[in-house]
A and B are shown apart, each in its own frame.
Chain A
């Protein structure tokens, strides 16, 4: 894996190494043509057709942000949309892709409330227009020891913070996901205390890396990836990034987050990616990159803060072994 760093620790690729959008797009249409042209070609054609036409969601135009790009090869769309932890649709990683058909993402509103001067309820079109959409390629590290690389679309969550003007009491942000038994079969089981709640300290939420996310791979978010709006926090384990958000609350006290409530000794509030702090049941020192690492290869080393060293200053003076 090639990671370039400038003295600030931000990943900065050479501009020549970023694939321009037009080429990216033309590769896709090439793939489609190839697939259509060889329908009779058996398994390979079937695979290509799937790869090309799975991207049937509404397109979302976004400008690539060169400040937030990693050199790692993006995970295939197929893997990123069929291997998901989204317990509202079942505990098996193939469940979300199977059962998300019932999720209705329009109309959709997000209520922003709590310790703010301007509480507001925004619908999904308001959110799409709140700030210019950027494409950012982030590493994604799951607490279970696997990782992906995803081209997300969204903007820094700080844009939304500025809009609602938190007051002096706002110390944390709480993200609350939809929990509707009618649309989400997994919510009928009691594996977690619904609704799914996640949270950040205000300074974490204000960090430019914290992405309010509305799309991926050039499209609106597929349902199984947390449509229509989710958080993406690339320096934290995946479960910190709440999906299908319906409410955002600015609060005084540290939120009681879902996985922390379920098993505090395994899942901390901070959940920063940290190769030195093991999960009780497995090591976090290494990870397996989905679709990349052959299973005959050794697993790759996990990086502190998932390689996003620029967040380190948020945690200076904190014992990250205790506050995992």
Chain B
């Protein structure tokens, strides 16, 4: 079983960090070389939204991957990946708040309340904030592992809201190919957890029954 040395792990982590910044670097490069196409705002908004979903999926894939491969060190990459999901979500929200509403909070709130697909996306973004804020080791200690874990299960809800947001966005154009794909990926990742937790439950029950009375 592959298990990297501390040095190798540091290298893997730095490479992953750089790779995760590439989509952002690409946007900046395109913005300065006039390659964002005819509608740059739409390009930036969609691109950062897409990358938020990609990073949510990648983050959710860590636990199943770890279980299948027994590469326990993968867990040490999860926080960084989750924070990148938050990073792209923040860019996505900023594009909406800036380019669509020009920092007009009243107008933005009206839009959020009036339009379900924005309500859902905005809620998902708000829910990400406490997760990002409690991602430090100090916060994990302060909250205690159990409570921290419970809080961070919000990510299942956030990912589902993200898919719904994308689904409703595409609904008017009747173009569900991508939302279906994302939805299936998230569904598999969540169902895998349910499956494993059911197995664990059964093992525990069997142990309990096997105990002498």
Cα distance A278–B172 in the bound complex, in angstroms: 14
The total of Cβ contacts below 8 Å across the A-B interface reads: 49
A66 interface contact, C-beta 8 A: no
Cross-chain contact B169 with A281 (CB below 8 angstroms): yes
Asked whether A191 and B38 contact (CB < 8 A) given A281-B117, A281-B169, the answer is no
At the interface with chain B, which of A117-125, A198-206, A283-291?
A283-291
Q: How far is the CB of A195 from chain B (nearest CB, A)?
A: 16
Interface string of A34-72 (1 = CB under 8 A from B): 000000000100000000000000000000000000000
**Given A91-B175, A191-B173, A262-B174: A79 and B38 interface contact (C-beta under 8 Å):** yes
Task: Mark interface residues in B30-60 (1 if CB within 8 Å of A CB, else 0).
Answer: 0001000111111010000000000000000
Q: Which of chain B's residues have a CB closer than 8 A to the CB of A291?
A: 38
**Cβ distance B172 to chain A, nearest Cβ, rounded Å:** 5
Find chain A residues with CB under 8 A from B100 CB: 299
Chain A residues, CB < 8 A from B37: 82-83, 94
On chain A, the residues within 8 Å of B169 by CB distance are 281
Question: What CA separation (Å) do A266 and B116 show in the bound complex?
Answer: 14
A43 / chain B contacts, CB cutoff of 8 Å: 33
- Cβ distance A265 to chain B, nearest Cβ, rounded Å: 10
CA–CA, A43 and B41, complex, Å: 23
B102 within 8 A of A: yes
- Does residue B99 face the partner (Cβ distance < 8 Å to A)? yes
The reply to whether A263 and B172 contact each other, CB–CB distance below 8 Å, is: yes
Q: Is A282 an interface residue (CB 8 A)?
A: yes
Q: Is B168 positioned at the interface, with any CB of A under 8 Å from its CB?
A: yes
The CA-CA distance from A58 to B32 in the complex, in Å, is 34
Known A79-B38, A83-B39; contact A282-B115, beta-carbon cutoff 8 A: yes
Determine the chain A residues whose CB is within 8 A of the CB of B168 once the complex forms.
281
Is chain A's interface secondary structure helix, strand, loop, or mixed overall? loop
Contact B175 A191 (CB under 8 A): yes
Do A295 and B172 have beta carbons less than 8 Å apart? no
CB contacts (< 8 Å) of A111 on chain B: these are none
Q: Are A91 and B173 also in contact (CB < 8 A) when A290-B39, A291-B38, A298-B102 are?
A: yes
Q: Return the contact of B111 from the options A83, A146, A280, A283 (Cβ within 8 A).
A: A283
B110-134 CB contact bits vs A (8 Å, 1 = yes)? 0100110110000000000000000
- A43 to B33 alpha-carbon distance, docked (Å): 9
Q: Which residue numbers of A lie inside 8 Å of B, CB to CB? A: 43, 78-79, 82-83, 91, 93-94, 146, 189, 191-192, 262-263, 266, 278-283, 288, 290-291, 295-296, 298-299
Interface residues of B (CB under 8 A from A): 33, 37-42, 44, 99-100, 102, 111, 114-115, 117-118, 168-169, 171-175, 177
A-B contact list, 23 entries, CB within 8 Å: A79-B38, A82-B38, A83-B37, A83-B39, A91-B173, A93-B38, A93-B39, A191-B173, A191-B175, A192-B174, A263-B171, A263-B172, A266-B172, A279-B172, A280-B115, A281-B115, A281-B117, A281-B172, A283-B111, A290-B38, A290-B39, A296-B99, A298-B102
